[in-house]
Amino acid sequence: MTTAYVYDPFELNHTFDGHPENHRRLEHVLALLERDGILDRLTRLPENVATLDPVLAVHGVNYVAQLEDICQDLAARSGGGTSRTDNLGAAGWLDQDTYILGASYEAALRGVGGLLSITDAVMTAEAANGFALVRPPGHHARPNSAKGFCLLGNVAVAARHAQRQHGAQRVLIVDFDVHHGNGTAEMFYDDSSVLFFSIHQYPHYPFSGTIDEIGRDVGEGYTVNVPFPAGVGDAGYLAALRQVLTPLAYEFAPDVIFLSAGFDGHWLDPLSEHRVSVTGYAKLVEELIALADALCRGRLICTLEGGYHLDALPHCVLSTLRALCGDEAGVSDPFGEVEARAEAAEQVLLSVTRRLGIPTPGNKPGLPKH
């Protein structure tokens, strides 16, 4: 089996000059992947527009209809076109950070559709694992509103799809984007069949994801947040996976692991201060591959979230793909590491393990039994 990927050039039409989440993110990623030649060793899945059924499993019907209506109106104002040129001068804003254009609704559905294609391939063993190179990102989108550059909750839609269409009983979602995946967390906050684990900078946008946000009702204990202060670097992130995620994952025993792969914690990224390196991200992915191999027959499905430095992001993606497909070339990190404050992570990790009763010397596992 091979590593699958999706890339849909239509998504480049969702763009706004001067905004950090623009079409150049994917253009720069694809340019590096093509120069490297790694795409020849992967399986590209066909482009796909998601139907509404999986989307409405996590989003309200009125919100989705509103998105479509707004985009149709914007497209009409730009002469009915949806190309980048057509979109110029016909943009709207859903909040202070999230723009929308005539092409945005279709781009969002194509982003979801691409991730669903990866999900189908991995869950049916047509691919070993996969990476959805899609945008706009999704982990901030709430059930009934857009937020933080995100229109639709890509990974949430795919997680529920894995359950409903492929019989996955337990789904683990890991989110290492530097911004808390508030939308994903909200969609599964009272659900014990989805374990949501997020490492993020705090306090930082969207100013959620505290240690005490652990889920509600039967979902209590199935939302796990590691809200790190600035500067924790590679060592802090790796410690969070090993000390917090790994014991919980073994107890939870997921049928599939999804990764919201946001690379905006890189030390060059303009939107964060976490000082993670490309090499650090590659180590995290390697840890998740090992978990997937041990727990769920290697089923690891990644989707692009943030990452706004146009040189660092492509190398993060390339290194992730190399890890997924076992490429002997290994990590591609021309930038190296910077000094970090790993000790800043220690107190947070101690508080998280105590709050949830995560296995440490003297503790017992803390996932509730329902």
How would you class 336 by CB atoms within 10 Å of its CB: exposed for 0-12, middle for 13-18, buried for 19 or more? exposed
Which three-class secondary structure state does DSSP give residue 277? Answer: coil
Residue 218 identity (one-letter amino acid): V
- Residue 340's contacts (CB-CB under 8 Å, 6 or more residues apart) are 231, 232, 233, 234, 235, 236, 275
Given the residues 140, 161, 204, 266, the one annotated as active site: 140
**Host H or E run for residue 3:** strand 3-7
Instruction: Read off φ and ψ for residue 112, nearest 5 degrees.
Output: -60, -45
Residue type, 312: A
Dig out the tokens for 223 from the structure. 């939302």
C-alpha 257/C-alpha 170 separation (Å) is 9
When computed from its CA atoms, the radius of gyration of the chain, rounded to whole angstroms, is 19
- C-alpha of 65 from chain center: 24
Q: Are 315 and 266 in contact (CB under 8 A)?
A: no
Three-state SS at 16:
coil
Please give the DSSP secondary-structure letter assigned to residue 126: S
CA distance 40 to 37: 6
Burial (CB < 10 A; 0-12, 13-18, 19+), residue 81, is middle
Q: What is the distance between the alpha carbons of residues 171 and 281, in angstroms, rounded to a whole number?
A: 22
Active site residue 140: yes
Burial letters 40-57, b for 16+ CB under 10 A, else e:
eebbebeebbbeeebbee
Known catalytic residues are 140
